[in-house]
Chains A and B, each alone.
Chain A
Amino acid sequence: MVTPRRPPRRTTVAAPERLELLQDGTPVPPVRGGRAADLDATRVRAWWLGFSEQVRHRSEELTELDRLAGDGDFGHNLRAAVRGADARLDRTRPGDVAGVFDAVTLAFLDTGGTSGPLLGMWFREFSRHGGQTLSTEGLADAARAGLDTVQRLGGAQLGDKTMVDAMAPAADALRDAATASVPVVAALGAAYRAAADGARGTEGLRARRGRASYVGDVARGVVDPGALAIAWFFERGTVV
């Protein structure tokens, strides 16, 4: 009598591809083509919703940083913008990457002030460079174009203690990843590490642009909340 052989049971607890990402209360189905594949609309939406949840839960941290160095409205404004984006995504249910980032863009351009619209123009480049799917190459192009747009419109240079201090190193990291043909999720990991380093580096800087510039040296020792939000954004892309 021959006992049929079964494949050995896998004992891994939580391989990254088995992480359950809730989307509308249901687990996201396994990624077709594996996590090395380019990002499709479903995964970009999951990436966005992960970031949105992070902002909703931790906007107080951003507000506190901004209270110390700016006028204290950044966390509130960002929260309002991601809420708007979530609502637009619910309403429009975009079927491609460009559509997901377009909904995000419009929500941010619908907020007043300066950081919201600047982020909107940054996300707009992700919409422009993302078609049906988003590759490492597309991400690198989007991050570079987004950085250029934010610098052109906002006038901030590297080291001015703004969101640019996270956007610029992330764009460099994505360019390196594209050159080395790194899969997209790994590339987002590299972007996250670069953005997080950049955000941490703003702690020692004196603000020269944005609201924090009005308080001068008082802002030293405080991480720029805009730069931190950019690091959060890339971080949530590493788990889709």
Chain B
Amino acid sequence: MSATTGRPDVQLRATTGRRQFLNDRDDFVAEALEGFALAHPQLVSLHRDPDFVRRAPAGRRPGKVALVSGGGSGHEPLHTGFVGVGMLDAAVPGRVFTSPTALQVAAATRAVNTGAGVLHVVKNYTGDVLNFRIAAELATDDGVAVDQVLVEDDLATDPAVTGLDDGPGRRGTAAVVVVEKVCGAAAEEGAGLADLVALGRRTAQRSRTLSIALTAPTHPGERLPSFDLPEDEVEFGVGIHGERGVGRRAFSTAADLAEQLVTPVADAIEVQRGDAVLALVNGLGSTHPLELSVVFREVVRVLEARGVRVVRSLVGSPVTALDMAGVSVTLVPADDEVVRLWDAPARTAALTW
């Protein structure tokens, strides 16, 4: 009870910070995984200890190269939401914003291996890269053929921009969805491990993303966001872990903010007049679909002004940073192969066509 008001403290606190639906912060991810599996029994099964989500038996394909991805939790629906026919065979979630352990990844890798090999799709973060590499070595020692595609699309952390030549390089962000989609479709068609690696790397290396945050996210069980942002500013060049961006810029109209994202990304992937792209407008957790549609309209406007055609798109929130308000724009050059694989059927919790 508060001494000054006589009301329960929890009600007072509730007016000063974010409230969340949770029981116990230590069980938050595990309970969410259970709920996810309960919601999609026809698509996925949940393996416990070590924890990973894999396709339900009906979606498994003998002789197919298996795709495994994973990373810290807090980016949902990534990666669990993309487990299913046409995309991933397993997703391995760590604690919030923490890489899964090597044993988790190795167990998932062994579980989904059909004998045709396993492709790891990894976002470029030190912990993810290390634990997936170790898992690959453990699985390889058990006779599983494993190879990796590293997704490193975040333009804000490009060494050419930051000047850090011996740093960890560009972070992996929303382009991972495109890599999982095209490689997943190719694997379903029967592509071999080496071909999938080449396709994945080609796609990842040609993708770039840039993000803006309007508010920082709040960790499960915390009351306050991870950083404060003045009303008249936006955080430019953020990643997907609630960290600060590379700089602050003036808050402005959707048209103005979208242009600040699209133009550097289009420059970076060197699209020319007449080229076709796949555009992904991704909400970072608590940005409304109406806002995302407004941003997408501006993305198309800017690209059309450059003579670039948006031939495929995804507008939604597939790669989130908890409840961060913000948006990322990803562009991928769309050749015939990318378009065909993007259009191929997928049946997952977060993406189905």
Interface residues of A (CB under 8 A from B): 106, 109-114, 117-118, 120-121, 153-154, 208
Contact = CB atoms under 8 A, between A and B. Distances in A.
B130 A117 contact: yes
B133 interface: yes
A72 to B, nearest CB: 15
Contacts of B137: 121
**B50, B98, B100, B137: which has the most chain A beta carbons within 10 Å?**
B137
B99 interface: yes
A110 B106 CA distance: 10
B49 to A, nearest CB: 10
Contact of B98 (A106, A112, A118): A112
B243 to A, nearest CB: 11
B101 A112 contact: yes
Given A117-B101, A120-B102, A112 B134 contact: no
Contacts of B50: 110
Interface residues of B, number: 20
A106 B134 CA distance: 12
A112 B133 contact: no
Contacts, number: 42
A222 to B, nearest CB: 21
Given A109-B102, A111-B101, A112-B99, A154 B130 contact: yes
A140 B98 CA distance: 34
Nearest to A213: B167
B127 interface: yes
Given A114-B126, A117-B102, A208-B166, 20 more contacts: A109-B102, A109-B103, A110-B50, A110-B101, A110-B103, A110-B104, A111-B101, A112-B95, A112-B98, A112-B100, A112-B101, A113-B98, A114-B127, A114-B130, A117-B101, A117-B130, A117-B134, A118-B130, A120-B102, A153-B134
Interface in B178-230: none
Interface string B104-137: 1010000000000000000000110011011001
Contact of A112 (B127, B138, B166): B127
B333 interface: no
Nearest to A116: B101
List of 5 A-B pairs having minimum Cβ-Cβ separation, nearest first: A109-B102, A110-B103, A112-B98, A109-B103, A117-B102
Contacts of B131: 112, 117
Contacts of A153: 130, 133-134
B103 A113 contact: no
B285 interface: no
Contacts of A114: 126-127, 130
A103 to B, nearest CB: 13
Interface string B242-265: 000000000000000000000000
A120 B137 CA distance: 13
B237 interface: no
11 contacts: A109-B102, A109-B134, A110-B101, A111-B101, A113-B127, A117-B131, A120-B102, A120-B134, A121-B134, A153-B130, A153-B133
